[in-house]
Structure formats: structure tokens, C-alpha cells
Amino acid sequence: MLTETLKTLFNRDLNKLKSEIESYKNDANLWIIDKSIANSAGNLCLHLIGNINTYIGATLGGSNYIRNRELEFSLKNVPKQELINMIEATIIVVNETVGKITEEQLNSEYRTLVFQEKTSTEFFLVHLTTHLAYHLGQINYHRRLLDDEL
């Protein structure tokens, strides 16, 4: 079933996100922006955590998560260990929520209008995996370009 594939992908990429954040040599480097790099790795990490906890945890799982999207991009200097703890908590939310989604729910309309057009829950969950992978790649490049040269 698609939910097992989604759980596998989310777990793979959230664990890779954790590994990327752990790999920064200096906590301060997580927050560096330079030249045309508009978002730091720390802010992208906060954005991914907020995104997944909103669209999976709160919307599908009924958690009490309240998103503050502006802070995802403006908050700075969150300690590395705090980011890691947040990623680990997000993995739990994904596993508990996605594991309970039925085939009927996958095929039904996603509860929140996010794009200009309505989508199925299945489509939106697949979108969330690609969104995670996209920003994970940015974080990987950020770490290798900025952290390694400092």
C-alpha cells in the first residue's frame, strides 16, 4: 500500500535531514546565508518540520501543532540538538499518522486547500515527500559549500 512507501520515504529523508544537521561542524554555520543563498540550513530545517507537522500531524493526525511559518524563516540560532530533537519528534508524528491512513482517505480530497486546485490526500502526501527531498538537497549543498570552507 502507498502508505508504507510514504512512511519509508519520509523516514529515509527525515533521518537524512537529521544526519545533515548533525554533520555541521559548528552550530553557527547552520544559520549562514551568503550571496544568493536566501535561506540557511537551520531555517530550511525549521520550515520542513513546520510543514510536515502542519500538513501531516495537525491536518491528518489531529495533533495540536500550531504553525508559525514566519518564524520558520526568521528564527535564528536554534541549537543543533534542539533541531535534532524536533526532527526526531516529526518522524514519530509521520509514522503514527501515515500508518493510520486508509486507502479511502488516500483517494479522498485533502482536507485543506493548499494549491489553487483541490488535490487528493495521496497527491498531497507525495508532494510533501518531494518538497522534503528538494529542501534536503539544498541543505546538503549549503553544508558542503559553506560549512566545509569555514
Q: Which CATH number characterizes residue 23's domain?
A: 1.20.120.450
pLDDT above 70 covers what percent of the chain?
98
Question: Can you list the alpha helix ranges (DSSP code H) found in 24-102?
Answer: 41-52, 69-74, 80-98
Tell me the per-residue pLDDT of 130-145, one tens digit each, with 9 for 90 and over: 999 999 999 999 999 8
Number of domains in the chain: 1
What is the sign, positive or negative, of the torsion defined by CA atoms of 20, 131, 79, 76? positive
Residue 42, C-alpha cell as written in the block: 537551520
By percentage, how much of the chain surpasses pLDDT 90? Answer: 86
Dump pLDDT digits (tens) for 78-112. 999 999 999 999 999 999 999 999 999 999 999 99
Note down the domain range covering 49.
2-147
pLDDT value, residue 19: 98
